[in-house]
């Protein structure tokens, strides 16, 4: 039995698909689906799992042993909005909830793989090395990143990182992100803008060393993320914090150009002012150091940006059925 918290969310439902295509269906999905208007439930409709448990009931049922023998918990459930301003809610969902899940896993010798975030790196001045010894020097730019860092620090102090694996996800794109609204990837936003107006918009740069649209991110395909999680499930001896990125920084111009090309169109990009609230806490360059994961034994190659965007646009966004399901392309 494998439990996926946040199993109806972006990475969680993609991981459910990954497990399904490997023949695994003995899975419990834990989540809060919210309003039907978000369409989050659609992430599950083409996939297979044994049961669904509402988030509010999960910890009580877990501590009572209601799920029987659990081989692994893939803990992806969290508030993932970098713009969330309710600090107490972020502490409750991203820190306290995670501590309860981790404590159960440590007490029962259950494999734990959990989602941290590249947002813990802040403005990047401390680098993007996933070395636990550098955790205390990181200064996240928003409360979301801080809530993730708090758990990483707690996990380090309490020996969790000696048994569990945490993943610092960078800028993930791919199917099943459609419920995320403002937090969805630039590929998804650009695709919709292109379909509606024929153009795509990006933020202007407010630093002279970066031209408009040349702000850089480590964009990583959701398929690569689920591949990493699947590998960690197969290698329970591997523990610690690991980056989950492509290992390459590419510009937003590159990303949007790839989206236009996937649609067979010439790029038409406009640059718009960045909201003032973002200007002081905006990352201009991120790039995951992937050496640690490779040294641990992970050998799969990461999907090149143009290939990943083309697959996402042509095989999902530009089709009648944009979700992962049992018939999704391998």
8 A C-beta contact, residue 273 and residue 201: no
**Those residues with Cβ within 8 angstroms of residue 52's Cβ, 6 or more apart along the chain or in another chain:** 7, 28, 29, 30, 31, 44
Active-site residue set:
144, 180
8 A C-beta contact, residue 268 and residue 193: no
Any idea what DSSP says for residue 198? Answer: S
DSSP string, 199-255: -EEEEPP-STTS-TT--EE-EEEHHHHHHHHHHHHH-TT--EEEEES-S--EEHHHH
8 A C-beta contact, residue 70 and residue 104: no
Cite the DSSP H helix spans in the chain: 10-21, 55-63, 87-90, 97-108, 143-157, 186-197, 222-234, 252-262, 276-279, 291-295, 305-312
Q: Across the chain, which distance is largest between two alpha carbons, in Å?
A: 58
Q: What's the half-sphere exposure (Cβ side, CA atoms, 13 Å) at 250?
A: 23
């Amino acid at each position: 039995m494998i439990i996926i918290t946040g199993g109806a969310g972006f990475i969680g439902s993609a991981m459910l698909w990954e497990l399904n295509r490997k023949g695994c269906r003995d899975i419990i999905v834990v989540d809060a689906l919210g309003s039907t208007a978000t369409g989050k439930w659609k992430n599950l409709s083409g996939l297979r799992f044994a049961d669904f448990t509402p988030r509010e009931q999960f910890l009580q049922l877990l501590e009572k042993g209601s799920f029987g023998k659990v081989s692994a918990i893939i803990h992806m459930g969290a508030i993932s909005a970098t713009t969330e301003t309710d600090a107490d809610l972020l502490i409750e969902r991203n820190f306290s909830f995670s501590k309860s899940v981790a404590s159960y896993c440590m007490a029962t010798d259950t494999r734990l793989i959990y989602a941290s975030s590249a947002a813990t790196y802040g403005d990047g001045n401390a680098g993007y090395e996933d070395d636990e010894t550098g955790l205390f020097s990181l200064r996240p730019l928003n409360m979301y990143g801080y809530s993730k860092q708090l758990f990483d620090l707690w996990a380090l102090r309490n020996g969790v990182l000696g048994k569990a694996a945490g993943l610092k996800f960078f800028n993930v794109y791919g199917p099943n992100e459609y419920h995320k609204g403002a937090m969805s990837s630039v590929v998804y936003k650009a695709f919709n803008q292109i379909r509606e107006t024929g153009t795509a918009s990006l933020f202007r740069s407010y630093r002279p060393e970066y031209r408009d649209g040349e702000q850089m991110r480590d964009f990583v395909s959701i398929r690569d993320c689920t591949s990493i999680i699947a590998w960690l499930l197969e290698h329970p001896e591997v523990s610690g914090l690991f980056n989950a990125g492509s290992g390459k920084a590419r510009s937003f111009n590159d990303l949007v150009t790839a989206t236009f090309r996937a649609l067979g169109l010439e790029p038409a990009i406009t640059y718009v002012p960045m909201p003032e609230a973002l200007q002081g806490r905006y990352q201009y360059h991120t790039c995951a150091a992937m050496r640690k994961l490779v040294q641990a034994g992970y050998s799969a190659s990461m999907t090149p940006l143009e290939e990943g965007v083309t697959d996402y646009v042509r095989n999902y966004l530009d089709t009648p059925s944009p979700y992962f399901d049992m018939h999704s392309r391998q």
